[in-house]
Amino acid sequence: MTRPTAVRAGRAGARGRGGRGGKGGGAPPPPAGPPPLVTVEEGKYEGQLEGKLGRVRAQFGGLAGFSSEGLEVFRSEKSHYRMRAEFRVWHEGDESFHIMFHGGTQSRRVRVDNFTVGSRLMNEAMGVVMEGVRASEVLRHKLYQCNYLTTLSGQCLVTMVYHKLLGPEWEAEAEALREKLARAPQAAPEHVPALVGRSRGQKTVLGRDFVVEKMEVGGAERQYRQVEASFSQPNGFMCQHMLNWALDATRGRGGGLLELYCGNGNFCIALAPNFDSVLATELSRVGIAAAKYNLEANRVENVKVAAISAEEFSAAYLDKQPHKKLQKADIDLSEFSFGTVLVDPPRAGLDDLTVKLVSTFDTIVYISCNPDTLHANLEELCNSHDVKRFAVFDQFPYTDHIECGVLLQRRTAAEPADAAA
């Protein structure tokens, strides 16, 4: 039986959590072979990025106002750029190690000892965790997944997922492992890694179940609580670029901002200084709680958060009818003078009703993780708006994935559509 080779690999990122699988059991180990998934080859970075930009220019070239020459490009760090990742854990004899799957199929498993796309802090934690797991049968037994969440500010959270109930013995061993994860014996509390144990219907938290990211936005530091098992931007460096681009794109707009899909308040907190008032909507209870905490932590006082979906809000706004979810949050839409809307939807893009809502705004900021659904939405929106700025954010180097930011402005009745450059 061929032993798997350790590879420097990573997984192409996309929004949403990865699936959970079973443990290794008696199945064959990961096969040897060429490095799969994402391989960091820094010398090829510029060529691969140029290929992505060529596809963007070809796909969006016919839209009103789009300019190939005016394309704004934000390059990623070439390695150690990913702040979070999920790994299955494979057990073979006395060995335990991280694995990932190649091509979305569980039949092709790859051992991952060095995760070159992951942050350096993540790589340090991965080594310590596997060393601790191999040394402790309590930690090792029925462990089948490890998730890592790190920050640019130096915080780390490890989630260990099991096929068993976690009792006092596990908690004692896990606390000892957490102490080993601290990089300095006298580390400040915020820099002692947190550890969460999960099994079906059970969650055990050692330290905390979140990290706090700190980013430089518009010359000021912003902090964001990122909660375990919830969405956060994987590439922290690129997230910082996205926030600063959106802040610059909306500078001087004033009036009211509506944000749909606000998550933990990532954009509305950064953009709040540019507007008199902001209404942000989000459906996830975890996201809403994090957003409210982050607003308070950053002393942002002109933002209200509503627990309502984009579709529900669109229907209420277009029909000019009160909605019970808005009333529950004590939000009166007549108090807002909206001129700008920001949307950051999932890969499926905007539904037809939300496109109709968005088209009623003079200024649109569209953050997209899927160029195909972005293009479909822009074909509709460019019937009334022109593209004024178009940014490309290389969130996941060495993959086909790319994210975009678009600023659109409504045409007046007398203005023809801008010709695409």
Return d(Cα 184, Cα 360) in angstroms, integer: 54
Return d(Cα 8, Cα 82) in angstroms, integer: 14
Q: Which CATH class is domain 49-77+231-410?
A: alpha beta
Tell me the residue type at 410: R
pLDDT surpassing 80 at residue 168: yes
Which residue, among 46, 30, 409, 75, has the nearest Cα to 241 in the 3D structure? Answer: 75
Return d(Cα 245, Cα 72) in angstroms, integer: 9
What φ, ψ does residue 224 adopt, rounded to 5°? -135, 120
Beta carbons within 10 angstroms of residue 207's beta carbon: 17
pLDDT of residue 323: 86
Domain residue extents for the chain? 7-38+82-211, 49-77+231-410
Which residue, among 158, 21, 28, has the nearest Cα to 100 in the 3D structure? Answer: 21
**Which residues contact residue 214 at a Cβ distance below 8 angstroms, ignoring those fewer than 6 apart?**
151, 152, 153, 221, 222, 223, 224
Query: Ramachandran region of residue 327, left (φ > 0), alpha (ψ -120 to 50) or beta?
Result: alpha
**DSSP assignment letter at 165:** -
Of the ranges 114-123, 324-333, 342-351, which one carries the lowest mean pLDDT score?
324-333
pLDDT surpassing 80 at residue 33: no
pLDDT surpassing 60 at residue 13: no
Residues with catalytic roles: 369, 403
Helical axes 371-381 vs 45-60, angle rounded to 10°: 30
pLDDT of residue 101: 85
Hey, what are 275's tokens? 């507007």
Return d(Cα 336, Cα 374) in angstroms, integer: 27
Average pLDDT, integer, range 347-351: 94
Distance of CA 287 to the CA centre of its chain: 12
Strand (E) or helix (H) holding 252 = none
- Would the CA dihedral through 219, 225, 227, 231 be positive or negative? negative
The tens digit of pLDDT for each residue in 200-246 reads: 999 999 999 999 999 999 999 999 999 999 989 999 999 999 999 99
The tens digit of pLDDT for each residue in 271-282 reads: 999 999 999 999
Distance of CA 172 to the CA centre of its chain: 32
Which residue, among 194, 205, 266, has the nearest Cα to 232 in the 3D structure? Answer: 266
Alpha-carbon separation of residue 296 from 33, 153, 402 (angstroms): 50, 19, 32
pLDDT surpassing 50 at residue 53: yes
Hey, what are 22's tokens? 């079973």
Which residue, among 223, 220, 246, has the nearest Cα to 236 in the 3D structure? Answer: 223
Average pLDDT, integer, range 287-295: 95
Question: Mean pLDDT across the chain, nearest whole number?
Answer: 88
Domain 7-38+82-211: give its CATH code.
2.40.50.1070
Return d(Cα 45, Cα 222) in angstroms, integer: 30
Strand (E) or helix (H) holding 78 = none
- Secondary structure of residue 292 in the 3-state scheme: helix
Residue % of the chain over a pLDDT of 90: 77
